[in-house]
Amino acid sequence: MQEFLLIIRGGEDLGNASPQEMQQTLQHWQKWMGDLMASGNYIGGQNLESEGLTVLNSTTVTDRPLVEGKELVAGYILLRANSAAEAAEMTRGCPGLARGCTIEIRGIRQLHHP
């Protein structure tokens, strides 16, 4: 088993969504996250604020330049899986995928795991 970081990019454009549609989206996420947690493979995850800072060098700190929706990291999830392919399989039901998100999966390199 290895740990994987799932980087969820892109927002679902819910600027015009009705409260009802938001509620439905949330229910879909709860179902998916719930299943993931129940599987025992889930380690943790958080939503990230859409504004941030970028440190370019020791003297320059700028507002985060990536403001385009698709590039925006909406959140991350940490998982345990046997392979990246297996982790990818677990993202199948992620409600974000049907709503314009992409998910990048990166194995976390560990000392004992050359």
Partner 1 sequence: MSASSHIDQAVNHLFRQASGKMVAVLVKIFGPENYTLVEDVVQDALLSGLETWKFNGIPDNPEAWLFRVAKNKAIDIIRRKKHQYYIDFSSQEELPPAAGYTPADNFDQYWQDQAIRDDFLGMMFACCHPDISPENQVTFILKSLCGFSTREAARAFLTSEDTISKRLYRTKEFFRTNHIRPAIPPPAQLSGRLDAVLNSLYLLFNEGYSATQHEQLVREDIIAQAIYLCQSLLEHEHTRQPRTSALMALFCFHAARIRSRLQADGTIIPLSQQDRRQWDKALIASGNEWLNKAASGTTLSPFHLEAAIAYEHCMAPDYAATNWKMILSYYDALLQLTKDPVILLNRSVALLEYAGAPAALQSLEAVQHHRQLNRYYLYHAVLGEIYKRMNEKDKAVACFEQARQLTAAQQEQQFLTAKIADT
Shortest Cβ distance from residue 29 to partner 1 (Å)? 4
Shortest Cβ distance from residue 84 to partner 1 (Å)? 21
**Coil, strand or helix: which one is 71?**
coil
**Contacts of 37 by beta carbon, 8 Å cutoff, 6+ apart:** none
Q: How far is Cα 114 from Cα 111, in angstroms, rounded to an integer?
A: 7
Q: How far is Cα 44 from Cα 94, in angstroms, rounded to an integer?
A: 15
Per CB under 8 A, residues contacting partner 1 are 14-23, 25-26, 29-30, 33, 45-47, 74-75, 77
Shortest Cβ distance from residue 74 to partner 1 (Å)? 7
Closest to partner 1 by CB, 37 or 56 = 37
